[in-house]
Amino acid sequence: MAMHTIKLTVNGEPHEATVESRLLLVHLLRENLRLTGTHIGCDTTHCGACTILFDGQPVKSCTVLAVQADGRQLITVEGLEKDNKLSAIQDGFYQEHGLQCGYCTPGMMITGTALLERNNSPSELEIREAISGNLCRCTGYVNIVKAIQHAARATKQETP
Amino acid sequence: MIPAAFDYHAPTSLSEAVALLSKHGDTAKVLSGGQSLLPLLKLRLGQAGHLIDIGRIPGLEYIKEEGGMLRIGGRTRESALERSEVVRTRYPILLDTAQVIADPLVRNMATVGGNLAHGDPGNDHPATMLVLGAQVVATGPKAERVIPIDGFFVGLFTTALQPDEIVTEIRIPAPPARSGGAYVKFERKVGDYATAAAAAFVTLGASGLVERAGIALTNAGPKPVRSTAAEKLLTGRRPDAAALGEAARAAGQSATPSADRRGAADYKKEMAGVLALRALTKAVQRAGGR
Amino acid sequence: MKIDTTPEVSGMGHSMKRKEDPRFIRGKGNYVDDIQLPGMLYMDIVRSPFAHAKIKSINTEKALKIPGVLAVITGETLAKYNLHWMPTLMSDTQMVLPVEKVVYQSQEVAAVIATSRYIAADGVDAVEVDYEPLPVVVDPFKALEPGATVIRTDKKDKKDNHIFHWEVGDRAATEKAFAEAEVVVKQDCYIPRIHVASIETCGCIADFDRVNGKLTVYMTTQAPHAIRTVFALVAGHVGLSEERIRIISPDIGGGFGGKVPVYPGYVIATAASVVIGKPIKWIEDRMENLQADSFARDYWMKAELAAKKDGTITALRIKTLADHGCADAAANPSKFPAGLFSICTGSYDIKHAFAEVDGAYTNKPPGGVAYRCSFRVTEAVHMIERVTDILAQQLKMDPAELRLKNFIPKEKFPYQSALGWEYDSGDYARALKLAMERIGYPALRKEQAEKRARGELMGIGISSFTEIVGAGPSKHFDILGIKMFDSAEIRIHPTGKAIARFGTKSQGQGHETTYAQIIAEELGIPASAVQIEEGDTDTAPYGLGTYASRSTPTAGAAGAMAARKIREKAKKIAAHLLEVSPEDLVWETGKFSVRGAPQRSKTIQEIAFAAYTNHPQGMEAGLEAVCYYDPPNLTFPFGSYICVVDIDRGTGQVKIRRFMAVDDCGNIINPMIVDGQIHGGLSMGMAPALMEEISYDENGNVQGGSFMDYLVPTAMETPSWETDKTVTPSPHHPFGAKGVGESATVGAPPAIVNAVVDALSHLGVTHVEIPMTPERVWRILKEKGVAE
Ligand SMILES: Cc1cc2nc3c(=O)[nH]c(=O)nc-3n(C[C@H](O)[C@H](O)[C@H](O)COP(=O)(O)OP(=O)(O)OC[C@H]3O[C@@H](n4cnc5c(N)ncnc54)[C@H](O)[C@@H]3O)c2cc1C
Ligand code: FES
Ligand code: FES
């Protein structure tokens, strides 16, 4: 079995792990690093429950190998809160009832976070497009859109 | 779903990557964005002894216009195409294509080189590249060679690439004046491969007649389909509704789709024609024809 | 609705932010796959590629040679303990692991136990099974033909594939009404097999502690207590008695009915843990989830509606064939093999009705569960809302007008339906009129006429549904004999805070918030100070769980009733503290005061403190109560939906342009949550109407068994839902509420179908089956000569 030692930064903290070639990044995060906020909802790269930021870009961590993350900067849902303060996206989801069972939520929030970094006043259509790789079965998306809009407003107020 | 075991290599130069490919022969696979390869391995529909990750080789991600060509690095992400100014303003057909591939998250990993190299007739770039008359630059153990796109797709999941060749660049001739291209895709939902999709590219002459036309289809047969019959019908004609309609019908005729959950073969064939007309109409508009 | 409490207290009617959210938005939810126990092993399952085949041999040798593979469990292993079969919730039987043959594709054949998920997967690949294919029965109609291959050869006297016949209503009177009818319309309609596809799949960790003989199972279940009892019944003979079984349902990533049944995986993991003595985790993947878990629907209906020429509906008759797959593993109340299908007279005052349902076995996974639906209500509503529209079309009446003419008038409630239900309350016309006003119905009709003249295809569809939820009165409703009450237990702490536990289990509905609000409403303790717990059978009171929109009608009611018991005792304590007689006290939110002397009062917090520090002599200390609530009736939420669609003449694609949903679920605990439930329900109504379906080819191979082909809508396919409400309280529910979680799933599909048919009605189209895929619609366009 081919093993590799990798070093990566997750939510600002350095980690080192020795992993099998085939280990999926999502399993490295969930099982080795015990960051269980990143979820798994499918086998075919469709649901986005596993979304994380990979060098700043939202990607599906079930379709990335752990070894590919060697030397990379990752952010998971656990890294959104800073200094005990919820991020604008987290607060938006809380305020607008952007979640029900909460299973898709970490992935949705990561995608939303990346969207707002690029575009701080997205239209409804732009939001819907951006989250179209994340499936939610509970909310019908209406309040997820509102949650991201809420966060966009808050972000703009902070950095006019 | 868990892939079977394999070995992983992360070369940091092209020559090292090519050497690894040569060494491991048939058991090796290039890993680029991984968005086609890893799902196959996870479902254990494919097997690989060695993955050669080209992700750490510098200089494979770029989009630049140079020497009358748009040059796209082999490992350029789809999302980079979507955000590229030169693509948006000069090659809108490429933007059309990139933004309907998979979903935005997949596009942050998936690469243009991988999209072509996979040889999947369901992938969206091949049709676009066919109508643009692109060239694929492949780097192997000996040297670099340029493969014209018309000879690139050999069959279902097979291309003209040798097992030890890596797609390092895609070259697209800069569009002449009064040209326009469009890609239109019909899918069941975001993240799905096309039920039918068509790429069209037209160049109009000074008189307003079609000087050159390119029409190609996605998911319309075992490999990407270029409809030369449709192109011929259009060349030299005024791009009015009648001509576009005839060309689109001819394009539809060139489709040989097989039935799947997206639809029966006859439906998909008809859709190929419908989508061809939509792509042609948009292309002609963009060329300033209407 | 009047709001009686302050935002600080947040009783009924407040859009309080959810108490569960702080953990979820931090990624600190605790779903089953997040739990890691010391020494835990992993299980993965070998599944059958055939829909019907004899198992000639299972060779585990290669698998067992893989380092890290510890055991391969087969039907033979389980047969030693007589655990290879288990009962379904409908008192049918289902294989856990096969000994002789498999009866559906993807059926569990063997299980590999290994030290990691990855090795378990390798082990599954290495197990060699030799099958001998048998004839496959896919079509339920053919299944019932004489000479059809018998699937359930395990049942001694079973000579055919018929499961049950069930009928309701007055057949003769209905026949007479049809014979005398001025107009009769008929329609066949198939509601395809679909899957709830909650984003979290199913799974468990079974942890048998050999030292104290206790089994703890962490499980994605909507009904932990019922599961515990089933486990005790199934495994009692091997020494697992109920006090030694603890089912813990942690956070659940969506249930929608799919997490009610007991799946073979749970039983195998449990057996393996008992045998091996280590915790065993089994998490199914998405393809297993879609291909082997309980499905929903799969109803083949034939309906006829009789009416007068003026549009008055006089009778309804429906004959249905239900495809249950290889076992009747529905999650219906026991006495209702076709669930609450007899709500099929819908919102209309129909004198005569008769419905019959037959169940058939086929070589498909067992089911069917509800898909966000109270037991077959979706099927019933789809049919009645379809034939109502067909009648309108035939009579050239506006579908809204026809509905308004036939609605059960609000004066007639409580209303006795022809098929035996007592509808509690309703004002159907008000809901429809509000929906029409909100969406601008007349203007849309005008636009449609203009578009039609230009050859464009636009349609407007209405659905005015009545739901039936909150099972249920125990005289009628039980599951495996356990009555369908539900429960709450509330304890008030000395400082006036509270903990309350319920027999239900939230899967995203927000019980931690809404139950706290119910208690806040009743006791005036701020909802933020009421901690809600569910899902642990060692601590929560016995209840039947959360499905079929029953939590608010049953457990919510139990919470209110338990709180009222507490208030009664609090009153006595207050009287003691204020030295007056209890009759002299009046309650207003959060305190008792002396009638006529409002300055003399005791708050609930003061009373709680006294309950532990200064309670009256002769009274028990403490302040707590339990209630097992047995509802006197079900609740009947309703609503009217209007959908506007445009159809692409080139591709046949249907696009929902607008969708207005007016719902009435009685008094509302938390409007924000209700709105969210409706948004989600609408999406799960749209999905099968347009996209989702699980079907089988003639060899019983599943089609649509992964997210590649099982089309769960993304934000791009989903319209921006518009909602509004009317409030017609339930007269019998303690706080006038009705269930709401499923109304939209039930009501939405016919609105969408009616809109599509409406867009095509001028071409003579009267019906379109679901899912209305582009191809299906395009074929109609083609046939009618309007495809572009
Ligand atoms: C859910 C989902 C939906 C999708 N939908 C679409 C869609 O609608 N349209 C579409 O076009 N695509 C779709 N894709 C595929 C996606 O765009 C692919 O990722 C892409 O086609 C392949 O690019 P890649 O970089 O990911 O290649 P990889 O997966 O890394 O590789 C694919 C194949 O190409 C070979 N290869 C890759 N790069 C090179 C190279 N530079 N030189 C030589 N060989 C190479 C690999 O060895 C492998 O055989 C979808 C993928 C997913 C997961
Ligand atoms: S787990 Fe579904 S996309 Fe990653
Ligand atoms: S909140 Fe449940 S899947 Fe999105």
Can you list the domains of chain C with their CATH numbers? 21-29+486-629 (3.30.365.10), 430-465+634-788 (3.30.365.10)
Q: Which residue of C has its CA nearest to B1?
A: C285
Q: Which residue of C has its CA nearest to B249?
A: C788
- Test B106 with A54 for CB contact under 8 angstroms: no
- Return the pLDDT at C236: 84
Ligand approaching nearest to the C-alpha of C252: 3
For ligand 2, say whether the CB of A110 is within 6 Å of any of its atoms. Answer: no
Q: What average pLDDT does range C330-358 have in this prediction?
A: 94
How many angstroms away from the CA of B105 is the closest CA of chain C? Answer: 13
What residue type is assigned to position C433 of the chain? K
Band (pLDDT 50/70/90 cuts) for residue B76 is very high
Contact B213/B234 with Cβ under 8 angstroms? yes
Contact C296/C371 with Cβ under 8 angstroms? yes
d(CA C245, CA C216): 6
Concerning whether C416 is annotated as a catalytic residue, the answer is no
d(CA C212, CA C639): 53
pLDDT exceeds cutoff 60 at C479:
yes
Q: Which residues have a Cβ under 8 Å from the Cβ of B234 and sit 6 or more positions away? A: B202, B210, B213, B215, B243, B244, B246, B247, B280
pLDDT exceeds cutoff 90 at C546:
no
The predicted-structure confidence for C489-517, as pLDDT tens digits, reads as follows: 999 999 999 999 999 999 999 999 999 99
d(CA C38, CA C59): 31
DSSP code per residue over B205-273 = -TTSSEEEEEEEEESSSSS-EE-HHHHHHHTTS---HHHHHHHHHHHHHT-----BTTB-HHHHHHHHH
Where does C169-263 have alpha helices with state H? 171-179, 224-235
- Half-sphere exposure in the Cβ direction for C80 (13 Å, CA): 7
Q: Please state the φ and ψ torsions of residue B233, each to the nearest 5 degrees.
A: -55, -30
- Return the pLDDT at B13: 98
Catalytic pick among C228, C317, C372, C386: C372
d(CA C380, CA C467): 10
DSSP code per residue over C352-386 = EEEEEEEEE--SS--EEE-SSSSSSHHHHHHHHHH
Could you tell me which of A8, A18, A5, A110 has the C-alpha nearest to residue A69? Answer: A8
pLDDT exceeds cutoff 90 at C373:
no
Could you give the angle at which helices C399-406 and C377-395 cross, rounded to 10 degrees? 110
- Test B35 with A45 for CB contact under 8 angstroms: yes
Contact A25/A64 with Cβ under 8 angstroms? yes
Ligand approaching nearest to the C-alpha of B1: 2
* Nearest ligand 1 atom, CA B29: 47
**Strands, sheet with B196-204, edge to edge from the N-terminal-most edge strand:** B179-186, B196-204, B210-218, B225-226
Contact C745/C753 with Cβ under 8 angstroms? no
pLDDT exceeds cutoff 80 at C1:
no
B39 interaction partners in chain A (CB closer than 8 Å): 44-45, 63
The predicted-structure confidence for C706-744, as pLDDT tens digits, reads as follows: 999 999 999 999 999 999 999 999 999 999 999 888 999
The predicted-structure confidence for B128-167, as pLDDT tens digits, reads as follows: 999 999 999 999 999 899 999 999 999 999 999 999 999 9
Residue B101 Cα, ligand 1 centroid: separation in angstroms? 10
What tokens appear for C95 in the block?
A: 């294989």
Contact B39/A44 with Cβ under 8 angstroms? yes
Please give the sequence-ordered ranges of beta strands (E in DSSP) within chain B, or none if there are none.
7-9, 28-31, 50-53, 63-66, 69-73, 135-139, 144-148, 153-155, 158-159, 166-173, 179-186, 196-204, 210-218, 225-226
Neighbours of chain C (3+ CB pairs under 8 A): A, B
- Return the pLDDT at C235: 84
d(CA B161, CA B184): 28
d(CA A40, CA A54): 17
d(CA A136, CA C707): 13
To the nearest whole percent, how much of chain A has pLDDT over 90?
96
d(CA C259, CA A82): 36
Report which DSSP code applies to C666: B
Higher pLDDT, C2 or A95: A95
Band (pLDDT 50/70/90 cuts) for residue A1 is low
Q: Which residue of B has its CA nearest to C45?
A: B1
For ligand 2, say whether the CB of A3 is within 6 Å of any of its atoms. Answer: no
- Return the pLDDT at B10: 97
What tokens appear for C382 in the block?
A: 């789809």
For ligand 2, say whether the CB of A40 is within 6 Å of any of its atoms. Answer: yes
Residue C616 Cα, ligand 3 centroid: separation in angstroms? 49
Beta bridge partners of C315: C306, C352
d(CA C103, CA C143): 14
Does A113 contact chain C (CB < 8 Å)? no
Residue whose entry in the numeric block shows the structure tokens 């037209």: B202
What tokens appear for B118 in the block?
A: 């996979």
Does B45 contact chain C (CB < 8 Å)? no
Contact C273/C279 with Cβ under 8 angstroms? yes
Beta bridge partners of C601: C593
Q: Which residues have a Cβ under 8 Å from the Cβ of C307 and sit 6 or more positions away? A: C181, C182, C183, C184, C185, C313, C314, C391, C395
Q: Pairing between strand C352-360 and C313-323?
A: parallel
Query: Which structural domains are found in chain A, ordered by start?
Result: 3-78 (3.10.20.30), 88-158 (1.10.150.120)
Q: What average pLDDT does range C640-663 have in this prediction?
A: 98
Give the three-state DSSP class for A155.
Answer: helix
Residue B101 Cα, ligand 2 centroid: separation in angstroms? 17
Concerning whether C491 is annotated as a catalytic residue, the answer is no
- Return the pLDDT at C761: 98
- Test C716 with B190 for CB contact under 8 angstroms: yes
Report which DSSP code applies to A111: H
Report which DSSP code applies to C407: B
- Return the pLDDT at A64: 98
For ligand 3, say whether the CB of A53 is within 6 Å of any of its atoms. Answer: no
- Test A135 with C714 for CB contact under 8 angstroms: yes
Catalytic pick among C373, C627, C643, C665: C373
Angle at CA of residue C96, ends C94 and C100, nearest 5°: 85
- For testing the chain C interface, which of A26, A30, A42 should be mutated: the one with the most C CBs within 10 Å? A42
Neighbours of chain A (3+ CB pairs under 8 A): B, C
What residue type is assigned to position B4 of the chain? A
Ligand 1 mutation target, pool B1, B30, B112, most atoms within 8 A of CB = B30
- Half-sphere exposure in the Cβ direction for A130 (13 Å, CA): 27
For ligand 3, say whether the CB of A49 is within 6 Å of any of its atoms. Answer: no
Concerning whether C507 is annotated as a catalytic residue, the answer is no
Angle at CA of residue C59, ends C56 and C62, nearest 5°: 160
The predicted-structure confidence for C395-423, as pLDDT tens digits, reads as follows: 999 999 999 999 999 999 999 999 999 99
Which of A117-126, A136-145, C544-553 has the lowest average pLDDT?
C544-553
d(CA B65, CA B69): 6
- Return the pLDDT at C53: 98
Number of CB atoms found within 10 A of residue C698's CB: 9
CA separation (Å) from B184 to B218, C276, C647?
10, 57, 18
- Return the pLDDT at C370: 82
For B43, which of A43, A46, A134 is closest by C-beta distance?
A43
CA separation (Å) from A41 to A36, A54, C120?
13, 19, 19
- For testing the chain B interface, which of A3, A30, A46, A50 should be mutated: the one with the most B CBs within 10 Å? A46
Q: What average pLDDT does range C343-371 have in this prediction?
A: 95
d(CA C299, CA C301): 6
Specify the residue with its C-alpha closest to ligand 1, atom 28: B34
Ligand 1 mutation target, pool B24, B51, B118, most atoms within 8 A of CB = B118
CA separation (Å) from A32 to A17, A103, C34, C761?
8, 20, 12, 59
**Ligand 1 binding residues, C-beta < 6 A:** A 45-46; B 29-37, 39, 54, 74, 101-102, 106, 110-111, 113-115, 117-118, 123-125, 161, 166-167, 191, 193
Query: Which structural domains are found in chain B, ordered by start?
Result: 7-51 (3.30.43.10), 63-173 (3.30.465.10), 179-285 (3.30.390.50)
- Test A140 with C682 for CB contact under 8 angstroms: yes
- Return the pLDDT at C472: 77
Band (pLDDT 50/70/90 cuts) for residue B290 is low
pLDDT exceeds cutoff 90 at C754:
yes
Q: What average pLDDT does range C80-106 have in this prediction?
A: 95
d(CA C458, CA C445): 10
Q: What average pLDDT does range A89-104 have in this prediction?
A: 98
Catalytic pick among C94, C105, C107, C222: C222
pLDDT exceeds cutoff 60 at A160:
no
Q: Please state the φ and ψ torsions of residue C84, each to the nearest 5 degrees.
A: -85, -10
Give the mean pLDDT of chain C: 96
- Return the pLDDT at C649: 98
Band (pLDDT 50/70/90 cuts) for residue B71 is very high
Q: What average pLDDT does range C309-330 have in this prediction?
A: 97
Band (pLDDT 50/70/90 cuts) for residue C333 is confident
Q: Which residues have a Cβ under 8 Å from the Cβ of B67 and sit 6 or more positions away? A: none
Q: What average pLDDT does range C443-471 have in this prediction?
A: 97
Concerning whether C167 is annotated as a catalytic residue, the answer is no
Q: Please state the φ and ψ torsions of residue C38, each to the nearest 5 degrees.
A: -60, 135
Q: What average pLDDT does range C651-658 have in this prediction?
A: 98
- For testing the chain B interface, which of A65, A109, A119, A135 should be mutated: the one with the most B CBs within 10 Å? A65
Residue B198 Cα, ligand 1 centroid: separation in angstroms? 19
Q: What average pLDDT does range B204-227 have in this prediction?
A: 96
